[in-house]
Amino acid sequence: MGWVLFPKLLYSQKQQPVAFNHALHNEEVDGGCESCHFFRDDGTYSGVPKLAQCVDCHEEMQGDSEAERIFVEEYVAKGREVPWLVYSRQPDCVFFSHAAHVILAEMECVTCHGPIGESESLKVYEENRISGYSRDIWGKNIAGIKRNSWDRMKMDDCSDCHRKENVNQGSVQTHKGGCFVCHK
Amino acid sequence: MKIDRRSFLAFVLGGAAGTALSPLPWKLTDDLAIWTQNWPWTPVPQDGEVTYLNSTCTLCPGGCGIRVRKVDERVVNIEGMQGHPVNDGGLCTLGLAGVQLLYGPTRVTSPMKKVNGSWRKISWDAAIAEVVEKLSDLRAKGLPNTVACISESDRGTVAELFNRFLTVYGSPNFIRTPSIQDSYELALYLTQGVPAMAGFDVGNADFILSFGSGFIEGWESPVYMFKANSKLRDHNGRMDQVEPRLSKTAAKSDKWIAINPGTEGALALGLAHVIIKENLYNREFVAAYSSGFEAHKKIVIDGYPPDIVAKITGVDTATITALARDFAGARKPLAICGRGKGKTPGSLQEFLAVHTLNALMGNINKAGGIWAVPEPDYISWPELGMDNVASTGMQQRRVDGAGSDKYPHARYLLNRLPEVINSSQDSPIQMLLVASANPRYTLADSQSVAKAFEKIPLVVSFSSFMDETTVNADMILPNHVYLERYEDVPAARGFPKPIISLAQAVVDPLWNTRHSGDVIIQIAKQLGGPIADAFHWDSYHACLEESLADKWDTLVEKGYWIDEEFVAADWAEAFETESGKFEFTSKEIDALPQYNPLKAKGDETFYPLVLIPYDSMRLTDGYIGSPPFLVKSLEAYILQTNDVLVEVNPTTAKEYGLDDGSVAILRTPKGNARVKVQHYDGIMPGVIAMPRGLGHSAYDKFLAGKGANYNALIDVLEDPASGYDAAWGIRARLAKA
Amino acid sequence: MKQENSKKFGMVIDLDKCTGCGSCMVACMAENNVPFREDDTDKLLSISWMRVYTLTNGQPFPRTEACYLPRPCMQCEGHGGHSPCVSVCPATATDYDMETGIVSQIYTRCFGCRYCMAACPYHVRQFNWWDPLWPDGMERSLNPNVSVRMRGVVEKCSFCIHRYQLAKDRAYAEDRRELEEDEYQTACAQACPAGAITFGDLNNPEHAVHQMVKPDNKHGGKPHAKNTFRLLERLGTNAKVYYLSSRDWVRHAGDNYLKNEGILKHS
């Protein structure tokens, strides 16, 4: 019973402000994920698109779905940024370099983010009532059991991979990864 | 069901084991750990797109190029601009802390009007209408000359707009705040006959002899001088510092020559004595390009032999002779003066003494020497159409006496203004506009300044900050801060080449402020007639773009325009005096009172000690108050809690029974202050040194109420030769509290 | 563990050029989100990653001399990365990275026991006794590349490691793996108006810091260049911040020498 009840107590369920269809957008663009989630010239990663990017196509209503109406009326027309809930949001002490993983190590987005690009709707955002972060960080499984590489985003997951790939294993204390590789 | 001991234990143990084996405690521990690491009141700065924008720092007249780092719409950092001719990537403490001024708590957020002693926000329309009404009123009464304006600069479009406004309105009373610029300009004018700015080719000098200048403590363009000092070190050059106190400049010099305060000019003349007597001067320059040398020679040979100079200055004869020989023996020697950061104009005769020392070495307009840099001339606006009121007003005497028979050479004498107002029944100034200045803090004898300002019926401040002058003003028309506005920077102080820079708006104005240039244009337009006609621009931006004409594109793109090829005029063409030569003496110079070390004010028996100020790069002492990072960076020997520390030589301190760190009362003829005593070997016995820039009553809690204001303890000491303020200190006493 | 192309970032501070102006301190504070308080005059409680000390030769007027000494974290290597602070940390909150030579401090991991502060011979570590608070609106000036520290943790100079991270990102985006010398510079080195601070890789013979110091990396990085010294050399902290001064008394002040003892000579 605890296995069912506990997560319900620990996580609150939140809906994204706008229903978003990744699959649909992926069909419309040529460049895959990077069409909207791109690298800036200085090598930093833009992350979740800003309204200004969306406006390029959504200045006017595209189709007549309810989600589109909400998006255009509530956000585009009012010039308000969409308060997206980011499943992979990490605490401020984390420095994550998309450039190192995607450009240098040539990793696929799916490896860490899963097949979110194929989804037709955004899943419910489950916010940890204690820590304030998404359930996706610890992983769906309360015991922390991981089936796919994208099932969890804890420090150990980063560190395991870094160890396997021999990425900066220069720590004197731990003989593992250096702290200032992923922390700031 | 009966619960016996056995089943109870089994239940508890089973439960404990079950809990421990379940992920529950581990999961909760992890969550709790993350919770404790992210308190909601600890700010998490928002990430975003980083952009860099080029601009110019206008927090001092140094003219440094800056690179402003923004994250989305936030300004997060300011860096020096790489490759900029003035500062090449370096930046001073104030420039680096500039973001704190933008987002700081002492911004004036809207036009305000004082009603029954408290501030009320009003609209821009109402504020401008009120100012216009008062101006029309004074003009109708035929009193346009009772309007005055105080500004830090008299160059560049904003200052020129204010000046143009006053002129066409009918007031000659545009007043620039005092600095060594006054004395250097006058020295160049008297000896070389040119209207010019002093530029120092310090980067090419191999011996810099500084008469009390804070060469690496904010003198002229601070970062340019820092760079020059490092270059001097790289080339095994030499820098000697003449000063009663082991300042940072003295500490980093090759030789510190401790001198009786206020006698630096005598030492300069003493050095000239040795140089002339031993024939060490530049024969070519003196013979072919100078006039009045014989008369000058007579003065220094008769009046300033080493033994007499030693008595005046406290510097022994051997040091004087050796210094003169070393200076003259250097390939490119350069003498500079103007104490500390150069906030007080100083004695004209002292400047002439130092300037003629350079002339003796023939390093006028030469590599490594002092250059006459032509004044910027890019502002050429249409002629003014003056009506009768304006013409009559402009013929009135300046209220500060500058240019009068008594002060024929002075251009601006702000130091005289408080006395003039206080000695009149009704204030000769009915309306005062204060732009980029904080005279209630920066002028000597704060009490008299306050009294004078109280007598002025309407004080209008254009400040972005709640500084001392603004808090006590009657109306505020707040300017944007420098990161929010465009403005031309017509020169970089002390820089040897003509350079024009552009300060650009890197962020939209945060508050309901307005560019002072726009405000003046709007006021003029509302006044109508020839005043409105004099301001044909729709906006300040239009005026700026038109004024900079063909330089505009370069300025927007690069941030500065420099006359790279500029070399100061050849000796044959450099001098526009009557004789066409450099004039060691002339009719005009002869008419001035002779050099005499100026005595500090105060009775020697009641005030046995002498108080001198010192400047620090970690404290501003101009119209911009120190932002929190500067106060935080202050050394423990400058400020402790709210007490300023004054430096006293241990022997003097012992004489007066003042322990290190003890609280004392510092008294001068002008006021007193609570201070802490800091024993310091690096200060001459009998002298007390105090930092400038503390003792603010205005600004935020990070600055206000800390330490004491040096200016409140000091009096103006009028230079008999120029009328400028030449105070280098004041007599004082120090007693246990 | 140690990789072939490992870096050893270090700093050389020319005390002949340093004017004691404090630009390094302010640049550091602005870059690294260092908090400030209404009264920051008690320097034992005031947080400043970089601090400029004033040294005097102790002579009476007028033979007094003074020198200004900027002090960032020395990033001690000790023996094999066992710097004084790293060895005592019970939380693995501070660590030595053999690939950069930088001593890291992870604020979220630190629980504030302050052992490291006691162990550090240079007073580079400071404790957050108070919540960091910015006047309303001023938090907009915070740099997102450096995390803001919370009350109850120790912080110190990081050699602006975030600038290294960002410089690498840019390099990757431009299909490079190696950085140019000027691509990674600390805020203090960049801002210093006197050009007194030089920063770079001590392992790289082409970098200015290597040429200025000529470190003997086989013997604890001892400097071989003329007039160079490190603070408390004889403690064996193997610091990566080197100083340069032409004045004997300044170099003498760099360690606890006996009165009549000569300055430690290297090689």
Q: What are the pLDDT digits (tens) for C7-50?
A: 999 999 999 999 999 999 999 999 999 999 999 999 999 999 99
The answer to whether the CB of B219 falls within 8 A of the CB of B346 is: no
- Whether B255 and B127 map to the same domain: the answer is no
The partner residue sitting opposite A100, judged by closest CB among C161, C162, C168, is C168
Same domain, B19 and B139: no
- The pTM of this model reads 0.95
Q: Do the chains contact at B46 and C144, CB–CB below 8 Å?
A: yes
**Stretch B652-660: mean pLDDT:** 97
pLDDT at B187: 98
Say which residue the tokens 């008369």 belong to: B295
Per-residue pLDDT of B456-510, as tens digits, reads 999 999 999 999 999 999 999 999 999 999 999 999 999 999 999 999 999 999 9
Gyration radius (Cα) of chain A, Å: 18
What's the confidence (pLDDT) of residue C259?
Answer: 74
Residue C90 vs residues A152, B33, B105, C106, C189: alpha-carbon distances, Å: 27, 16, 41, 13, 32
Inside any domain, residue B286: yes
pLDDT over 70 (residue B694): yes
Residue B78 lies in a domain: no
CATH code, B353 = 3.40.228.10
Those of residues 717-736 in B touching chain A at CB distance below 8 A are: none
CA distance B26 to chain A (A): 9
Mean of the pLDDT values across residues B502-520? 98
Residue B173: per-residue pLDDT: 98
Are residue B523 and residue B619 in the same domain, yes or no? Answer: no
Give residues 100 to 159 of C whose Cβ lies within 8 Å of B: 108, 131-144, 147-151
B432 with B338, same domain: the answer is no
Q: Which of B529, B545, B561 is the endpoint of a domain?
A: B545
Pick the residue from chain C with its C-alpha nearest to B99: C141
Residue A179 has pLDDT above 50, yes or no: yes
B577 within some domain: no
Q: Each residue of C64-74: pLDDT tens digit?
A: 999 999 999 99
The answer to whether A119 contacts chain C (CB < 8 Å) is no
pLDDT tens sequence across A108-134: 999 999 999 999 999 999 999 999 999
Of B344, B375, B406, the one marking the end of a domain is B375
Is the Cβ–Cβ distance between C85 and C114 less than 8 Å?
Answer: no
Distance (Å) from the alpha carbon of C138 to chain B's nearest alpha carbon: 5
pLDDT at C1 over 70: no
Q: Which residues pair with B687 in a beta bridge?
A: B610
Residue C203 φ/ψ region, left for φ over 0, alpha for ψ in the -120 to 50 degree band, beta for the rest: alpha
Interstrand relation of B639-640 and B643-648 (parallel, antiparallel or unpaired): antiparallel
Residues B288 and B203 in one domain: yes
Q: B161 and B206: one domain?
A: no
User: Do B687 and B645 fall within a single domain?
Assistant: yes
What is residue B2's predicted lDDT score, i.e. its pLDDT?
65
Residue B85 lies in a domain: no
Q: Could you give the percent of chain B with pLDDT greater than 70?
A: 100
**Inter-chain CB proximity C190 and B39 less than 8 Å:** no
Which of B335, B353, B375 is where one domain is finished?
B375
What pLDDT, in 10s, does the model give residues B123-146? Answer: 999 999 999 999 999 999 999 999
Same domain as B285, residue B235:
yes
Rg (CA), chain C: 18
Token duo for residue B174: 């545009």
What phi and psi, each to the nearest 5 degrees, are found at residue C82? -90, 75
What does the mean pLDDT of chain B come to? 96
Q: Is B342 inside any structural domain?
A: yes
As a whole number of angstroms, the distance between CA B8 and CA B24 comes to 22
- Higher pLDDT residue, B13 or B685? B685
- Cα B523 to Cα B154, B462, B481, B483, B583: the distances in Å are 20, 13, 20, 24, 46
Q: For an interface test with A, which of B34, B36, B41 has the most A Cβ atoms less than 10 Å from its Cβ? A: B34
> How far, in Å, CA of C181 to CA of C211, rounded?
13
Task: Please determine, for residue C266, whether its predicted confidence score (pLDDT) is greater than 50.
Answer: no
User: What pLDDT digit, counting tens, does each position of B12-66 carry?
Assistant: 877 777 777 778 888 999 999 999 888 999 999 999 999 999 999 999 999 999 9
Q: Which residues of chain A neighbour C165 with C-beta distances below 8 Å?
A: 95, 97, 180, 184
Domain membership of residue B306 (yes or no) is yes
- Please give the distance of CA C257 from its chain centroid, rounded to a whole number: 23
pLDDT of C265: 46
Cis previous bond, C62, omega within 30: yes
Spatial distance between the Cα atoms of B226 and B679, rounded to a whole number of angstroms: 28
CA C129/CA C122 separation, integer angstroms: 20
Report chain B residues whose CB lies below 8 A from the CB of C27.
Answer: 91, 96
Q: What's residue B1's pLDDT?
A: 56
Size of interface A-C (CB pairs under 8 A): 104
Ordered domains of chain C (ranges, CATH): 9-252 (3.30.70.20)
> Do both B370 and B399 map to the same domain?
no
- Residues of chain C above pLDDT 90, percent: 91
- The CATH number of the domain holding residue B445 is 3.40.50.740
How far apart, in whole angstroms, are the C-alpha atoms of residue C151 and residue C134? Answer: 14
| Number of structural domains found in chain B | 4
Kindly state whether residue B95 falls inside one of the protein's structural domains: no
- Could you tell me the CATH number of the domain that includes residue B628? 2.40.40.20
On whether both B350 and B239 belong to a single domain, the answer is: yes
- Do residue B208 and residue B295 come from a single domain? yes
Instruction: Report pLDDT for A1.
Output: 58
pLDDT of residue C267: 34
Q: Is C195 on the interface with B (CB under 8 A)?
A: yes
pLDDT in the model for residue C191: 97
The whole-number pLDDT of residue C4 equals 55
Quickly tell me which residue has 């500004």 as its tokens. B151
- For residue B246, the enclosing domain spans 193-375
| Token output for B530 | 């020839």
Minimal CA–CA distance to A21: which of A58, A76, A73?
A58
Percent of chain A with pLDDT over 70: 99
Tell me, yes or no, whether B168 lies in a domain. yes
- B238-265: average pLDDT: 98
- Interchain proximity B37–A91, CB inside 8 Å: yes
Q: Identify whether residues B246 and B363 lie together within a single domain.
A: yes
* pLDDT higher than threshold 50 for residue C205: yes
